[in-house]
Amino acid sequence: MARRILVTGGAGFIGSNFVHYLVRETDCIVTVLDKFTYAGNAASLDGLPADRVSVVHGDVCDADLVDQLVGRNDAVVHYAAESHNDNSLHDPRPFLDTNIVGTYTLLEAVRRHETRYHHISTDEVYGDLELDDPTRFTETTPYAPSSPYSSSKASSDMLVRAWVRSFDVRATISNCSNNYGPRQHVEKFIPRQITNILVGDRPKLYGAGLNVRDWIHADDHSSAVLRILEAGRIGETYLIGADGEENNKEVLELILTTMGKPSDEYDHVVDRPGHDLRYAIDWTKLRTELGWQPSFQDFEHGISATIEWYRANVAWWEPQKRATEARYREQGQ
């Protein structure tokens, strides 16, 4: 197991959950590299031991900084990204810079230093499925991304594959489905609805809400990534999921009833252009090859715990809420 791990994007939602997970479950030393965009939050790393976790404020596109940090670590786990589809539809440029050039910059550094690299990606690179399609995404599903976000992530995956083949970089890739849990930015579906209810606004459902997402708890994503880092085969891609398919309307109704509200107390708003219909992950390879299993299999319980986290941590999300909703209002969402 790597002793010193560089985690890019460690002040974001999934990256910070991974850093907390590493501190709980391993004895490794973590360096976080994060640009602290609107999505990075220093408070997400509060309470972590200073002798185990250090934080560097910087950009994954900064080649000199990245080279120095990679040189001091045994492994890199690359979470940093522009991550929100809606933002990518209004201003794609930062997605190309961070997601593509940032990945290129890290790949060149791990190539020079011969450092183990794990690339965090998304199931959205595979496009979407029909609601009644009996198949799910596997590691051999052809890439067919729909949005500027997912196409920039697909591009980054292709760079990783090319650097493995052309330069023998020791890399693995994982493509995970939709995460939920603590410390997710309020722009995303589940925290947006929970915090709307907490501030007295009505939740907002895009279109008819029949789109399906395959939900996994962020801690299960972390345990899968750690397993791949420890035992994954170099050059391989692993899909991460937990059989959590739900449509958006059902998820919203669950949030409303769990929070003691009538299940129809929400607004339908304008749909996302090009909105992917359904994602579904077949994670057989991760199970059979690496023996991984998810721990959070009760979605209702996971949603209740997530609601409780947002209730108990108003100071964490309140500063972002007003600006986020102002941006959505401009877009009619």
CA dist list (Å): 284 to 229, 235, 241, 281, 288: 18, 18, 9, 9, 6
Residue 130 falls in the annotated catalytic set: no
Q: 34, 59, 82, 123: which is the annotated catalytic residue?
A: 123
34: partner contacted, choices ligand NAD, ligand DAU, none (Cβ within 5-8 A by kind):
ligand NAD
Under a CB-based contact definition with an 8 Å cutoff, are residues 136 and 279 in contact? no
DSSP annotation of 261: S
Q: Confirm if 150 and 202 have CB atoms less than 8 A apart.
A: no
Q: Is 328 a catalytic residue?
A: no
Active-site residue, selected from the candidate residues 34, 59, 124, 276: 124
Q: Would you say 40 and 18 are in contact if contact means Cβ atoms under 8 Å apart? A: no
Contact partner, 39, from ligand DAU, ligand NAD, none, Cβ < 5-8 Å per class: ligand NAD
Q: From 76-84, 224-232, 271-279, 289-297, give the range in contact with ligand NAD by CB under 6 A.
A: 76-84
Closest residue to ligand NAD, Cβ-based?
12
The nearest distance, CB 262 to ligand NAD, in angstroms, is 28
What single letter denotes the amino acid at residue 212?
V
Judged by DSSP in three states, 245 sits in strand
CA angle 12, 237, 135 (to 5 degrees): 100
Strand partners, 33: 8, 56
Q: Phi-psi region for residue 235, left (φ > 0), alpha (ψ -120 to 50) or beta?
A: left
- The size of the interface with ligand NAD (CB under 6 A), counted in residues, is 31
What whole-number distance in Å separates Cα of residue 241 and Cα of residue 291?
14
CA gap 308, 37 in Å, rounded: 26
**Site stretch for ligand DAU (CB under 6 A), options 28-36, 81-89, 108-116, 159-167:** 81-89
For 70, 74, 83, 146, 180, the CA distances from 251, given in Å and listed in that order, are: 40, 40, 21, 23, 12
Question: Judged by CB under 6 A, which of 20, 30, 40, 77 binds ligand NAD?
Answer: 40
Instruction: Enter the tokens of residue 244.
Output: 């959590």
Q: What number of chain residues touch ligand DAU (CB under 6 A)?
A: 20
Active site residue 236: no
Q: How far is the CB of 231 from ligand DAU (least distance, A)?
A: 24
Of 16, 73, 105, 248, which one interacts with ligand DAU (CB under 6 A)? 248
Smallest distance from ligand DAU to CB 4, Å: 27
Under rule CB under 6 A, residue 206 binds ligand DAU: yes
d(C-alpha 38, C-alpha 36), whole Å: 6
Q: Select 154 or 259, whichever has its Cβ closest to ligand NAD.
A: 154
Contact residues for ligand DAU, defined by CB under 6 A: 83-85, 122-124, 177-178, 188-189, 192, 204-206, 209, 211, 213, 248, 272, 279
Contact residues for ligand NAD, defined by CB under 6 A: 8-9, 11-15, 33-37, 39-40, 59-61, 79-83, 98, 102, 120, 122, 153, 176, 178-179, 185
Q: Which residues are catalytic?
A: 123-124, 149
